[in-house]
Amino acid sequence: MHDEEIRQILDEYHHVAVVGLSPKEDRPSYEVSKFLQEHGFHIVPVHPRAETILGEKVYHRLEDIPFPVDIVDVFRRPEDTPDVAESAVRIGAKVLWLQLGIKNEVARSIAEAGGLRVIEDRCMKIEYARLFNHR
């Protein structure tokens, strides 16, 4: 995906469900989510056991979120992403974003067939900082 398309996504969409957001401050998912929060994004944590993360109510599944989500940002193993892609399609997300090191052709196919744009193997924090000059 080209920089202009990524810039447009980051500029236009601000409700981000973070699948696999850890409550542990030393984890990349926490650091990225905190950065995004500090730069105007509404973070929606998705975690099977936590109650709140970064001051936000946690939802156990994407389907439990009672409001629209623009981006589903995934911090899970590649083999877990097809199920996440199916859920992202079901909730009407606009973008499936797989973090650094995460690629899965099946997840990509599911998401694209459901009308989502797909970004793989990129970090939202890094891309935002790079494209909007925020460190």
The pLDDT-based confidence of 1 (bands split at 50, 70, 90) is confident
pLDDT digits (tens, 9 = 90+) for 63-93: 999 999 999 999 999 999 999 999 999 999 9
CA-CA distance, 52 to 9, in Å (whole number)? 26
pTM score: 0.95
Contact 74, 121 (CB under 8 A): no
119 with 1: CB under 8 angstroms? yes
> In total, how many domains does the chain have?
1
CA–CA separation, 131 and 114 (whole Å): 27
CATH number at residue 108: 3.40.50.720
Closest to 57 in 3D by CA, of 43, 67, 70, 69: 43
- What range defines the domain where residue 51 resides? 3-132
Helix, coil or strand: residue 37: helix
